[in-house]
Amino acid sequence: MHPSPSVIIFTTCSGLGFGLLAWLGFGLPDVTGWVAFAFFAVAYLLAVGGLLASTFHLGHPERAMKAFSQWRSSWLSREGVAAVAALLVMGAYAGLLIFFDIRIMVLGWIGAVLSVLTVYATSMIYAQLKTVPRWNSILTPALLLAISISGGALLAGQITEAQVLLPIAAIIQLIWWTRGDLALMQSGTDMATATGLGKIGRVRAFEPPHTGTNYLLRELVYQVGRKHAIKLRVIAFVLGYALPVLLILLPFGHALAALAVLSHLAGIATSRWLFFAEAEHVVGLYYGKR
């Protein structure tokens, strides 16, 4: 698929923001007053900023409110409902904690669960799509949740937990890439099934369906060279997982912690670009693209 910058920003930043909110909801780190304000401010900037960025990918942003009414059948709508609920609950929890030094743990736990559910709903928008075999796997929600929770631990300063969770996320990332490379071939989908002509005989492309581009080719068919994909995967893995783990294993320092967070953000943004660029939509088979 065509990697839209707005969606990359959304999935990277909002995942990290809701991950941090989840840790804060469970009382980690144990902060109050203006220190708590700083943590919540960062979490809300990432979560809300990411959600706002996603609206730029909509053809009609003014209709975004209508998405909330489809929560019974749409993961996009469920994501919106969960996000708003999480932000409202965590806003109340943060306000009491920051300005009145009152910690209502049940409220924080509810907000934390809603934050995790928001990330899960986001992941299911992609995981449910049978038309993109690379995404259509339980590994997709597992990956997005692992990145959100481990990144949130890193931002929350939960170093011991991050040392465990980041390697777990890295392993899931490697498995997701490996499985994804075989997904289209193993899906049973090919040009014969894409055109519906398989029952007649062997199907091959004689000439392109169109002499020029169209919406489907622009939005759903994007090819990235295998050589470049491997380079980007290495960059994503090193910056997103390996370097942050190495940095937090060193004696703690705020500069090193900040560098670990920035490195993680850059790496996850790179992996998220690949998430979309390598998504082989089956419609591409109709156009002879694979």
The contacts found for 203-211 with CB under 8 angstroms, 24 or more apart, are 205/288, 208/287, 208/288, 209/286, 209/287, 210/287
Mean pLDDT, rounded, for 157-186:
93
* Predicted pLDDT of residue 61: 57
- Give one DSSP letter per residue of 181-222, joined into a string: HHHHHHTT--HHHHHT-TTTS----SS-S-SS--HHHHHH--
Q: How far apart are CA 171 and CA 241, in angstroms?
A: 10
Determine which of 60-74, 82-96, 97-111 has the lowest per-residue pLDDT on average: 60-74
Q: Give percent above pLDDT 90 in the chain.
A: 62
* Predicted pLDDT of residue 202: 76
Q: Which residue has the tokens 């049978």?
A: 130
* Predicted pLDDT of residue 65: 66
* Predicted pLDDT of residue 142: 98
pTM: 0.89
Mean pLDDT, rounded, for 3-20:
89
Residue 19 has pLDDT above 90, yes or no: yes
Q: Is the dihedral of CA 240, 260, 48, 73 positive or negative?
A: positive
Which DSSP category does 58 fall into? Answer: S
Q: Is the dihedral of CA 196, 201, 205, 211 positive or negative?
A: negative
Number of structural domains in the chain: 1
Q: How far apart are CA 238 and CA 259, in angstroms?
A: 13
CATH of the domain at 55: 1.20.1630.10
Q: Diameter of the chain by CA atoms?
A: 74
Residue 10 has pLDDT above 70, yes or no: yes
Closest residue by Cα to residue 44 from 60, 61, 25, 31: 25
DSSP tally for the chain: helices H, then strands E: 12, 0
Q: Which residue has the tokens 């370097």?
A: 243
Q: How far apart are CA 31 and CA 28, in angstroms?
A: 8
Q: Give percent above pLDDT 70 in the chain.
A: 80
User: How confident is the model over 20-53, as pLDDT tens digits?
Assistant: 999 999 999 999 999 999 999 999 999 998 888 7
The distance from CA 69 to its chain's CA centroid, rounded to whole angstroms, is: 23
Q: How far apart are CA 5 and CA 202, in angstroms?
A: 39
User: How confident is the model over 257-287, as pLDDT tens digits?
Assistant: 999 999 999 999 999 999 988 887 776 666 6
- Give one DSSP letter per residue of 12-42, joined into a string: HHHHHHHHHHHHHHTT-S---HHHHHHHHHH
User: How confident is the model over 182-211, as pLDDT tens digits?
Assistant: 887 777 676 676 667 777 877 666 666 666
Q: How far apart are CA 11 and CA 14, in angstroms?
A: 6
* Predicted pLDDT of residue 166: 98
Closest residue by Cα to residue 188 from 110, 133, 121, 122: 133
User: How confident is the model over 97-129, as pLDDT tens digits?
Assistant: 999 999 999 999 999 999 999 999 999 999 999
Mean pLDDT, rounded, for 83-108:
96
Mean pLDDT, rounded, for 154-175:
97
Which DSSP category does 252 fall into? Answer: P
Q: Which residue has the higher pLDDT, 95 or 253?
A: 95
Mean pLDDT, rounded, for 88-99:
97
Mean pLDDT, rounded, for 213-236:
72
Q: Which residue has the higher pLDDT, 217 or 181?
A: 181
Range of the domain at 99: 5-286
* Predicted pLDDT of residue 214: 58
Model confidence band, residue 67 (pLDDT cutoffs 50, 70, 90): low
Q: Which residue has the tokens 């965590």?
A: 90
Radius of gyration for the alpha carbons in the chain, expressed in angstroms and rounded: 21
